[in-house]
Structure 1
């Protein structure tokens, strides 16, 4: 291929990687060529091993599909740096992803241009991570990837879900969004049998299967998935109750804590309420430890005993 043709085919490949499907006319307009030239360039990509599907019809359409091998990806400078840093810091809430991320990072860094290696090295040198030995339940990366695709394609999924009492039930849902909160991953979806929105913890999902049936996306109540999930999480029944009356304004606490905005309720200019209730008293302790001001606490006996024992161990260590 000539240099002009090679450059155009690379631009075509980059376009195919940014959208699920392109019409031939849209690609021709973007590349400033004819539809016939687009067809020829698509054939060149296929000869190079890229699995490009064609849609039938007058307008035609093309999409890059999955094949037997992963073809090379085209990344611009910012995308390459972002992926390298994300791989370097990948960990939270996913089972066994750390080693896989480091292998992928090694491959990426091997081919990074010199001008980008310095940026990645500087960013990595300024980042630090905290690995909790007891981070709670962790989600399966394969499940996360499968549900991500289902959310993107608005494809109905079936799975078995184990509730808080340990009872499993079959579910059929329209996936909407995946949300990470408090070290856990959640799927926000519309349950087709219950005809209502539901929140599912990924570590309680098993046997997830796509059905092949796609539906129109449903608008999330309030048009803000993250806010909707936060509201559901705070309203959901939990095993351990802990509500702190904090002697500081809600704005003060919000600015000094992470991920607690939905749990804070202002009482007046100098006081707010923090709902730290959770299924795990250890997460309650970590949440309260982030407060930098005095508070009083209402808690169930088991939670109070756990917090009291933790405080006594700290005091004995100091003495």
Structure 2
């Protein structure tokens, strides 16, 4: 799209992307004169877009917020980016799959034929994550995100992944008697993060002054000492309560990067710098071609030795876990380093031998 219509589309796109634009900067971006920018702004106003003039040394323009706007216009890059985002939303782990497809269909209907063809050409199919990732209720995501944005203490019930004894209708277990109700958790929410199809809350949880039993419950009460630690909670297991608690002053995440810090937590590390390095790292030679090992090496480094062997350098949260991860390739393992990893293989061999002999023989 060229000429005035294309320039108006570019001008509207710029006004939507930034709150205030100096007039001379708009002219430079559009490669026109300031007078042409003024005329194009008048044309947008005639179309119903509330473009306001701003005062200041340079003067400029602002697209007013909260007004009723005509259908939004997208340039080529925005249309393709939005189509990709909507397609990938089906694998985001949030229960908005149907809404994303409806939004994509709506977008397609209002685009001109040229852009509609470009959007239809985006055939990105997200692959499912390993295992069945649970779906997060959009209302939970909105409630948690709102508490993060407002810096308000979040109260929520949490479904623990650990198995619990079956309860009867009165809330009692036949073996363990009455099951006490767990108080809601109280945390300072800081960041919402997505990882591997799951959504997590990074938060600061204070330690309850009443002792270890309360700390084990994961909640804080009015007697909180103010001491605590960083925790992560899965959003699909959370049930936020209303109203939220008082406002708090946000804390600085160790290392300054929430993503790197959470990556370190998932690797069993509490490195204040959030480097994310595995606490246990080792290497071994696998009797398999490098091309066969590479797709399953995750963040490991694969070095080809010959056509049938390769060296894999990788890490894990424990030496036993590292040994097990090397065995899952299903090939012979040799030249294991360091000594801690060799000891873990020995311990794992003993467990495997015990497991192999623990079955009940059956009659032929």
Same fold (TM over 0.5): yes
- Quick one: distance in 2 between partners of 1:179 and 1:115? 36
Alignment RMSD: 5.6
Give the unaligned 5+ runs of structure 1. Answer: 238-242, 277-283, 310-319
Report deviation, 1:234: 2.7
* Aligned residue number for residue 235 of structure 1: 268
* Aligned residue number for residue 256 of structure 1: 295
Q: Does the alignment pair 1:169 with 2:185?
A: yes
Q: How many residues align?
A: 267
* Aligned residue number for residue 154 of structure 2: 159
- Quick one: distance in 2 between partners of 1:218 and 1:42? 47
* Aligned residue number for residue 75 of structure 1: 74
Alignment of 1:40-55 (within 5 A): 41=41, 45=45, 48=48
TM-score, with normalisation over the residues of structure 1? 0.56
* Aligned residue number for residue 109 of structure 1: 108
2:156–2:239: 8 Å Cα contact kept in structure 1?
yes
* Aligned residue number for residue 292 of structure 1: 329
TM-score, with normalisation over the residues of structure 2? 0.51
1:155–1:174: 8 Å Cα contact kept in structure 2?
no
* Aligned residue number for residue 312 of structure 1: none
SS at match of 1:90: helix
2:153–2:186: 8 Å Cα contact kept in structure 1?
yes
Report deviation, 1:139: 1.8
1:158–1:208: 8 Å Cα contact kept in structure 2?
no
Larger Rg: 2
Report deviation, 1:64: 4.6
Which deviations, in whole Å up to 9, do the C-alpha atoms of 1:8-64 show, x marking residues without a partner? 664443223213x32x6x255323538x959x94896598265x7898988798465
Which deviations, in whole Å up to 9, do the C-alpha atoms of 1:273-319 show, x marking residues without a partner? 4349xxxxxxx9xx969953547696xx9xx99xx99xxxxxxxxxx
Change beyond 3 A, Cα 1:210–1:63 = farther
Once structures 1 and 2 are overlaid, which stretch shifts more, 190-199 or 81-90? 190-199
Q: Does the alignment pair 1:183 with 2:197?
A: yes
Change beyond 3 A, Cα 1:292–1:128 = farther
- Quick one: distance in 2 between partners of 1:56 and 1:89? 41
1:157–1:210: 8 Å Cα contact kept in structure 2?
yes
Report deviation, 1:103: 0.8
Q: Does the alignment pair 1:206 with 2:203?
A: no
